[in-house]
A and B are shown apart, each in its own frame.
Chain A
Amino acid sequence: MIQESITNEWAEFLAYTKEPTYAVRNKKDNGFLGRFTMDMLMENYGFARILTVLARGYLFHNPDGTPKGGDPYERTDDARRALCAWCSIPDRKNATPRAEWQFKTDFRELHGEFHELVEADGCGWYVRHLRGISNFISTNRDKVSKATHKLADNIEKLEDAWRKKVIQYQIPIFSAGTKGDLILRFDDVIADALELGALRTESIRLTDEQEQWLAEVTPSKVPLHVSRTLLGYYLANKPADSDWCVLPVTNVEAYLGSSALSRMYLKWLPEAVLERKQMDAGVCIYKMTVATTVTTICH
Chain B
Amino acid sequence: MDWKDNLDPSLFPPIRELIDTYDHCLRRIRSHKHPTPGNSKRRDIDRILTMRDQENTYDTDSLYALFTGIDAARIKTVRDALRAEQWHFLKPKERLSFLQEYLPEEAFRAYDGLFSDFRMGGYRVLGDIICDIDDADRQADKAKLHYKHDTTEMTAMIDAYHIRLPGVDYREAVATACRLCLAKITPPFQAIRYAEAMDRRDFIFDVLLEEADFYLIGGGNG
Contacts from A to B (Cβ < 8 Å): 73, 76, 172-176, 178-182, 187-188, 190-192, 194-195, 239, 241-244, 246, 277, 279-280, 283, 285
Whether A180 contacts B39 by the Cβ 8 Å rule is: yes
In the assembled complex, which residues on chain B have CB atoms less than 8 Å from the CB atom of A192? 121
Binds A, one of B47-55, B175-183, B207-215: B47-55
CB pair A173 B88 closer than 8 Å: yes
Residues of B115-135 whose CB lies within 8 A of A: 118-124, 127-128, 130-131, 134-135
Contacts of A190 in B (CB 8 A): 88-89
Nearest neighbor of B126 in chain A, beta-carbon distance: A174
- Known A-B contacts: A188-B124, A285-B50. Give 15 more (CB < 8 A): A76-B89, A173-B124, A173-B127, A174-B87, A176-B79, A181-B40, A188-B121, A190-B88, A192-B121, A195-B119, A239-B53, A244-B53, A246-B51, A279-B51, A283-B51
Instruction: Give the interface residue-count category, chain B.
Output: 20 to 34
Q: Across the interface, which residues of A come within 8 angstroms of B121, CB to CB?
A: 188, 191-192
The 22 listed contacts between A and B (C-beta, < 8 Å) are A73-B89, A73-B91, A76-B89, A174-B79, A174-B83, A174-B131, A176-B138, A178-B39, A179-B39, A182-B47, A188-B124, A191-B88, A191-B89, A194-B89, A195-B119, A239-B52, A241-B53, A242-B53, A244-B53, A246-B120, A279-B47, A285-B51
CB neighbours (8 Å) of B39 from chain A are 178-181
Q: What's the Cα separation between A279 and B79 when bound, in Å? A: 29
Q: Distance in Å from the Cβ of A66 to the closest Cβ of chain B?
A: 23
Please name all residues of chain B whose beta carbon is closer than 8 Å to the beta carbon of A277 when the two chains form the complex: 50
Contacts of A76 in B (CB 8 A): 86, 89
Residues of B within 8 A of A73 (CB): 89, 91
Q: B138 — which chain A residues lie within 8 A by C-beta?
A: 176
Q: How far is the CA of A182 from the CA of B52 in the complex (A)?
A: 17
Which residues of B are found within 8 Å of A176, using beta-carbon distances? 79, 131, 134-135, 138
